[in-house]
Structure 1
Amino acid sequence: MQYIHRNLEDFFKKSGMHYPAILLTGPRQVGKTTFLRHVSEESRNYVSLDIPRDRNLAKEDPELFLERHKPPVLIDEIQYAPELLPFIKVLIDKEQKPGMFWLTGSQQFQMMRNVTESLAGRVGIFEMLGLSNRELEHRNVEPFLPINDFPDVPEKLDLQGLYRRIWQGSFPKLADDPEMDHDLFYGSYINTYLERDVRILGQVGDLQRFFRFLRAAAARTGQLLNYSDLARDADVAVGTAKNYLSILIASGLVTLLEPYFANRTKRMTQAPKLYFLDTGLCAYLTDWSSPETLEAGAMAGHIFETWCFAEILKSYRNSGKRPAFYFYRDFDQVEIDLVIEQDGVLYPVEMKKSSDPGRDAAKHFSKLEKFGKKIGMGAVVCMVRESSPLTRECKLIPAAGL
């Protein structure tokens, strides 16, 4: 596989070597191990706990394992042997050298708690998501804000080209081989996720029921989360739906976007919005068999918004930043898709699957004035080919330029 430069690399190199231990988390198969092996020095050892022999040794005799695999070492899938963590702590406290242990893990449910408790103050935590549009276009620019400049859209990313990228998703294996069978890849991915992440951790007894819930959640991407409706469609109890969704969030497949409240008023919704972080997986789970059917189908708008949101999120995560993202919605159904708060300024963003949005696309931005904060430049992310002003306070931004 040809290595694709990851935009996280710059932040990782600047800050990663200040810690004796580094944990790189993220969903399965987003390229964590490939990334770390690419940026590591030749002297760093590598061992994967996916291999039963090494996993058993790590669990049964951690001291011997660390004697065989001395630092600097990259330990893959650390969640399979939390027994190692106290012994890693002892070595770190003894030697106190930066970069001793690089750790990866796909399952964040218990792993994050184990690592942070055992290695508190000794570990730097980085998160990797799937390939971003910027990485696929070999661009590395600053985190998204409407005040930034944006490139014109390349010819290959017209409406059909963009929806092919949305339908394909962000996993490196598919990017490296676009001819790979889409259904085969995602079907195998789901089976691996259910069997190795969900079942092994004992979180779910009925995998078929969990899969049914997963499909119901995918059908709601880009929409307000209603646990009762979601539970009904998945044929599970509301409490089970909340537990299942927490698993999806912890494993990096889904995120929730909270509504913006500066002052909690009775006229505003309190439900979050649900977003899948890989649109290819979402398209597979909702049975869209091609980019063309997806673009013309009932989910086209929601999945376009989902893709745009994920790309904006990746631009921050790959810079090591935790953005203040929200959305606005009141009980009069007035909504702003995304509100970014930075340095006391609110930046409103709408995401429209349109090549010619009118001024009405930004008509609700003034609703944010009620919060008494400065309103920055707004944006309508859409299918235009180049960035241009829409009003004095808002500009059009090409989605393919994210």
Structure 2
Amino acid sequence: VQESLAGRVCLLHMSPLSQAEACGYPSELFTVELERLLTRSKAVTPASIQEVFERIWRGGMPAIVSGVKKEQAAVYSSYISTYIDRDVKEIADRVDSFKFLNFVTVVAALTSQMVNYKTIADAVEISVPTVKNWLNILERLGIIFYLHPYSNNLLKRMVTKPKLYFYDSGLVAYLTKWTDSETLMNGAMSGAILENFVVSEIVKSYQNAGLEPFIYYYRDKDNKEIDIVLERNGTLYPLKVKKTMMPDKRWTNVFGVLDKTSLKRGTGGILCLSDKFTAFDRDNLIIPVWEI
């Protein structure tokens, strides 16, 4: 017990099942490399928009994915109850169960958005310090994670707030009361929950490989935004997430803001609901969500 385990321990983050795991495909590290994406597009079965949103709505809980449990709502209801009664109270004794459930629901409704502590505090009728404490609990228990804005001394007028995401899109769908995948697909949260799904899948691909993802977002005060900025080997890879089958190349124009950084800008892409992997040109790819 007293002996140091430094250098002899590997810590793995056990997230809900990824899309690849749920579909029985090999888990691969997500990269924006033309040849690797082309190879993977041939190894993965394309999915329709309806099938993608079914995956989003169903989530990554092993009991649901495996078919052991048929009722999505029953699984997540039991999960939330156990989570509040046991795990949360082990970390913080003085937690009002009803308010905490309301808090988690409000946070789920704000997924893929910049964190606004005051908005959450007002909605749940708790203090801002309590919001920060409870968000910390969700993060420690592996329920949520953040994307921080990409910062560089050469970039000006940057926002500073992180964006919040859930590891499991099915939990978001349950908490925000979408009763099936079709209503979710056509609902007001469809774009936000699609972005949550994409970001979490990319993060899981790194975690499943035992690697730390260096993943950020970009937004400045002129409303120029890049949903995902992947940093790898001294190169920045810009990505946008769009709920469309036919992306517009003009959406890639914003990627040029990264040319002001000290790092090289690599291949960019639009992650969308296209039925096939293709490209605008060699530097800007069209990547189907089902391929991640």
Given candidates 160, 165, 171, the residue that maps to 1:281 is 171
SS at match of 1:380: strand
Q: Give the Cα–Cα distance (whole angstroms) in 1 for the partners of residues 128 and 98 of structure 2.
A: 17
Deviation, structure 1 residue 119: 5.2
Q: How many residues align?
A: 287
> In 2, distance between residues paired with 1:125 and 1:372?
32
Shift of 1:135: 1.2
What is the aligned partner in structure 2 of residue 130 from structure 1?
16
Post-superposition CA distance 1:345-382 (Å, at most 9, x none): 10001111100011122120001111132110001111
Of the candidates 276, 283, 286, which is equivalent to residue 393 of structure 1?
283
What amino acid is the match of 1:127? H
Unaligned runs of 5+ in 2: none
Q: Work out which of the residue numbers 150, 173, 176 in structure 1 matches 2:66.
A: 176
Q: CA deviation at 1:392?
A: 3.5
Alignment RMSD: 1.7
User: Distance between the aligned counterparts of 2:174 and 2:27, measured in 1?
Assistant: 30
Q: State the AA in 2 paired with 1:192.
A: T
1:166 aligns with 2:56: yes
TM-score by length of 2: 0.93
1:258 partnered with 2:148: yes
Q: How many Å apart are 1:317 and its aligned residue?
A: 0.6
- Kindly tell me: are residues 220 and 185 of structure 1, through their superposed partners in 2, closer, same or farther at Cα, counting changes over 3 Å? same
Partner of 1:267: 157
2:190 counterpart of 1:300? yes
Q: What is the correspondence of 1:244-393 to structure 2 with a 5 Å cutoff?
A: 244-263=134-153, 266-393=156-283
Q: CA deviation at 1:186?
A: 0.5
Shift of 1:237: 0.4
Per the alignment, residue 224 of structure 1 pairs with 114
Q: Residues 397 and 240 of structure 1: is their aligned pair in 2 closer, same or farther, counting only changes over 3 Å?
A: same
Report the residue type matching 1:145 in the other structure.
T
Give yes or no for contact 2:269–2:287 (8 Å, CA) kept in 1: yes
**CA shift at 1:141, angstroms?**
4.7
Counterpart CA distance in 2 for 1:194 and 1:120 is 33
Report the structure number with the largest CA radius of gyration. 1
Task: Answer yes or no: is the 8 Å Cα contact 1:199–1:207 preserved in 2.
Answer: no
Shift of 1:138: 2.3
Q: Where does the alignment leave 5 or more consecutive residues of structure 1 unmatched?
A: 1-88, 94-117
The TM-score normalised by the length of structure 1 is 0.68
- 2:71 is the counterpart of 1:185: no
Mapped contact 1:376–1:393 kept (Cα < 8 A): yes
Identity %: 38
Q: Is the 8 A contact 2:139 2:145 kept in 1?
A: yes
| Equivalent AA in structure 2 for residue 154 of structure 1 | T
Quickly say closer, same or farther: Cα 1:198–1:220, change in 2 above 3 A.
same
- Aligned partners of 2:12 and 2:21: how far apart in 1? 18
CA deviation string 1:123-156 (max 9, x = no partner): 332211111111123222531111132315635x
Q: Alpha carbons of 1:200 and 1:227: their partners in 2 closer, same or farther (altered >3 Å)?
A: same
